[in-house]
Amino acid sequence: MHKIIEVVFNGKVSSFTVTRIDRSKLYGSKKRIAVDTQGQECSAAALTRDGKYILPTGGMAILYLIDEGDVVERNQLRAVDPGENNGNSEELFPNEAMELGPAISAIELLQYTITRVYGLETLSLMPELEALLVAGTIFCIVAPNFTERNSCRSFLLINDTGCFLLLGKQSDFDFVGLEEVDLSAIDIDGVEDDIGDSLDFNIL
C-alpha cells in the first residue's frame, strides 16, 4: 500500500500517493549475462578458501537477524536516527498535512543536490494549486520533520511527465555564471616580479 501525503495551500488540502523513483526507473537498467562457448548462460558459484568445494547459486545467503536469532526480511528494515531520537525509527513522511511554503524559481532549485525523487499520484488536487503547478511554479514544503537528513528540503512540482516530490541538500559550491573576468582590465605593468629580482642574474 502506497503512503498518502497531504499538503495545505490557502487553507485547502490536496492529497497524493507517493512512490519512490529509483535510477532504474529514470534511466533504465542493463544486465550483463556471462555465457559459455556454446552460448549457454553461466551460473555463478563460489569456491571455498581451501579450494575443495564449489558453492553453487543458493548455497550461500545473507540474512538479517535480530538479537533473538529470528530472521528479518529486508523490506521490514527501517532507517533509524542514532542522534536526537535515540535510535527510534524516523518516519520520512509525517502523518499530518504539510504546509506549502514560498514558491521558488528553477535557478533556486538548481542550488540543491537532489537526493531522492518521488512520483505522486493525485487523489485530490485543488484547482488553484493545480493551475500554479502546471504553469511551472515550484513550491517548498514546510514541515520540520519532513527530511531525509536535517539539512534537506523538499519541493513539489509538475512537469510534462507527471507530479513529483524532490528531496535535496544545499549544494556546497557557488553557481558559475556565463560572465567571465576581463583579464585585459587588470593592470599588471606595475606588479613587481619578486621572483625575478630575487634571482638577480648578472650577465658577464
C-alpha 201/C-alpha 196 separation (Å) is: 8
What is the structure's pLDDT at 14?
94
112 contacts: CB under 8 Å, gap ≥ 6? 153, 155, 166, 168, 169, 170, 171
Chain center to CA of 54: 40
191's grid cell: 606588479
162's grid cell: 507527471
Per-residue pLDDT of the chain (204 residues; tens, 9 = 90+): 468 889 999 999 999 998 888 777 767 788 889 899 999 999 888 888 898 999 888 887 888 888 888 888 887 776 665 544 444 434 566 778 888 888 999 888 888 888 888 899 999 999 999 999 999 999 998 766 555 444 578 899 999 888 999 988 888 776 666 666 565 655 555 555 554 555 455 554
Supply angle C-alpha 173, 152, 94, rounded to 5: 170
What is the structure's pLDDT at 157?
94
Q: With beta carbons less than 8 A apart as the criterion, state whether 168 and 117 touch.
A: no
Q: With beta carbons less than 8 A apart as the criterion, state whether 158 and 142 touch.
A: no
Domain segments of the chain as ranges:
3-24+91-170
20 contacts: CB under 8 Å, gap ≥ 6? 116, 117, 118, 119
Chain center to CA of 70: 33
C-alpha 134/C-alpha 40 separation (Å) is: 51
CA distances from 192 to 111, 178, 186, 188, 202 (A): 40, 32, 14, 9, 19
Q: With beta carbons less than 8 A apart as the criterion, state whether 73 and 86 touch.
A: no
Question: Cell 500554479 belongs to which residue?
Answer: 132
C-alpha 31/C-alpha 34 separation (Å) is: 10
3-state class (DSSP) for residue 121: strand
What is the structure's pLDDT at 136?
92
